Copies of this chain bind each other. A is one copy, B any other.
């Protein structure tokens, strides 16, 4: 079965996020003033062939740890959807 797993990788809350600050500046220039804070990260969608949702989640966890997220600067969250 193919599972559609979503992984969100964001900069850690305590770290500066220069890309987010740049977007915030851009929004001010566009006269959008009610946005107070912006953080920009990655969104990764994986199509995983696995026999169960928990197996798919485990594979995604493995992929996030080994390749997608740098734990020194980022955290990740995983969400599974059955296709």
Contact = CB atoms under 8 A, between A and B. Distances in A.
Contacts of A40: 42-45
A63 B32 contact: yes
Contacts of A68: 23
A50 interface: yes
Interface string A5-46: 000111000000000100100110010101111111111111
Given A35-B47, A41-B45, 20 more contacts: A9-B43, A20-B44, A23-B44, A23-B68, A26-B67, A27-B63, A30-B63, A32-B63, A34-B48, A35-B46, A35-B49, A36-B47, A36-B48, A37-B46, A38-B44, A40-B44, A40-B45, A41-B42, A41-B43, A42-B42
